Amino acid sequence: MLRLRDIMKRDVVSAAPDLTIREAMELLSERHVSGAPVVDRGKVVGIFSATDILVLLADLNDTTPSLTFRRRGGRTTPLEDVTVDEVMTRKVQSLPPDCLVDEAAILMGEKQIHRVLVMQGDVLLGIVTTSDVAKAVAEHKIGSRTYVFG
């Protein structure tokens, strides 16, 4: 049986709660990830994703000054004014490292999330994403189940 510890990424990209949305966008882009846990003084306090950033942008007023995704002089926009703490999800979905990958996949499907933190108590050990689960399936690491009804 394949467990989360077998497929989790141990080098977890994380963000501080006071990171601006612009900095968060740069972090996700540079590290080629779509979300990350938010860590404050060694403790996971939330999780944010590209979806959270898109929701923020969609909610902005039409009267909001141009966002200009590249910096222009010293002008600030909501991308500099809003922090990760303001858009992150505070209810973090986590599972222990010995949890079966199948159970994580079910949780992700039910909660409609793309990542689950792998934690032992309050300690962040890794992260498993839908891509990690798909890769395990493609590599035939997760077998099919046969159900017999009597």
CA geometry: angle at 123 spanning 136 and 45, to 5°?
100
For residue 18, the model assigns a pLDDT of 96
Does the structure show a pLDDT above 80 at 46? yes
Q: Which residues are registered as beta bridge partners of 83? A: 20
Backbone angles phi, psi at 118, to 5 degrees: -100, 115
What is the Cα–Cα distance from 37 to 17, expressed in whole angstroms?
A: 10
| pLDDT, tens only, 14-43 | 999 999 999 999 999 999 999 999 999 999
Q: What is the CATH number of domain 4-138?
A: 3.10.580.10
Report how far residue 1's alpha carbon sits from residue 3's, in angstroms, rounded to the nearest whole number: 6
CA–CA dist 71, 53 (Å, integer): 17
pLDDT attached to residue 79: 81
How far is it, in rounded angstroms, from Cα 117 to Cα 92? 8
110: left (phi over 0), alpha (psi -120 to 50) or beta: alpha
| Kind of pairing between the strands at 35-40 and 115-120 | unpaired
Sign of the C-alpha dihedral computed for residues 30, 36, 41 and 42 taken in this order: negative
Average pLDDT, the chain: 87
Q: Which amino acid is at 24?
A: A
Evaluate whether 126 touches 4 at the Cβ level (below 8 Å): yes
Helix axes 21-31, 50-59, angle to 10 degrees: 140
Give residue limits of the domains in the chain.
Answer: 4-138
Give me the pLDDT at residue 15, please: 96
